[in-house]
Amino acid sequence: MSYRLGIDLGGTKTEVLVLDPDQRPVYRLRVATPAHSYAEILAMIAELVRKAEGKVKQEMTIGIGIPGAISPATGLLRNSNTVCMNGRPFLNDIETLLQRGIRVDNDANCFALSEALGGAARNYPIVFGVIIGTGTGGGLVIDGKLVNGPHSISGEWGHNPLPWHTDKDGSPGCYCGKTACIETFLSGPGFAQGFKSRFGRRLSSEEIIAAADASDPECRQMIDSYHDQLARALAHVINIIDPHAIVVGGGMSNIDSIYAEIPPRLPAYVFSDFVETVILKAERGDASGVYGAALLWE
């Protein structure tokens, strides 16, 4: 098996990783992303590949995790929060620039693949990986293989409405044009905005979590609401996919109470007489995406 190079292209940082044939990391580098210039992003990727090949001095495959997805209908990138990439033929451009075949997939899919093959969910056949951070993404892995679907939207749970919605939840607007999307409740910015709407205090998601740990009553109420909303959203996934494991990553995965509080709430919403799906914290942390990008050539 060859050496494999992975690139995780993020909105603020980009990371490159090279794995040897035994999946051991032999080279890593993290740089700032020139997020406002498509041409500079392409040039940055080419330079990262050049540096990695110069250090490792081995032939290697290349996989790239990107924000958004490439449309199977047009070949153009869509739904990226790195706006300058939307509407661009990214795969064609990067293959032309590097003069070789590249595998590209959504960053949440790369996260799910990483955790299913060598992370927290390595022993489970059906794995759903969710990222709850700046946004909400997801990916589905069955028997070690990514499931993309004909529209390349498999796992995009964040732009479905919050299940079993109540008036108490509110109906915040989403940038996608709809209201009450899961992302508007469970992402870090959505959580912070929900707290401001409910209690009139402007705190970041990190500040709310820290204050809840310090027994601030309003912040603890907000965390409890978050537990219930996340349980509803994950129960909806279980009802449709029935995974053995759900792996949680992103900044909001650092709410440690999630892993004790969510499982006992699931039976109220799951269409079964028992629930054995396990809820796991990502093992590879914020490096999971770059591992998954390299493993696109698994």
Q: How far apart are CA 181 and CA 162, in angstroms?
A: 6
Among 4.10.80.400, 3.30.420.40, 3.40.50.2020, 3.10.50.40, name the CATH number for the domain at 3-111+287-297: 3.30.420.40
Ranges in the chain annotated CATH 3.30.420.40: 3-111+287-297, 123-282
Torsion, CA 285, CA 290, CA 34, CA 181, rounded to 10? -60
At the top level of CATH, the class of 123-282 is alpha beta
pTM of the model as a whole: 0.94
Return the pLDDT at 175. 87
What confidence tens digit (pLDDT) does each residue in 55-82 have? Answer: 999 999 999 999 999 999 999 999 998 9
Return the pLDDT at 1. 61
Inter-CA distances, 215 with 61, 202, 206, 210, 227, Å: 50, 18, 14, 9, 16
**End-to-end alpha carbon distance in the chain:** 9
Q: Can you list the residues of the chain whose pLDDT is less than 70?
A: 1
Q: How far apart are CA 107 and CA 11, in angstroms?
A: 11
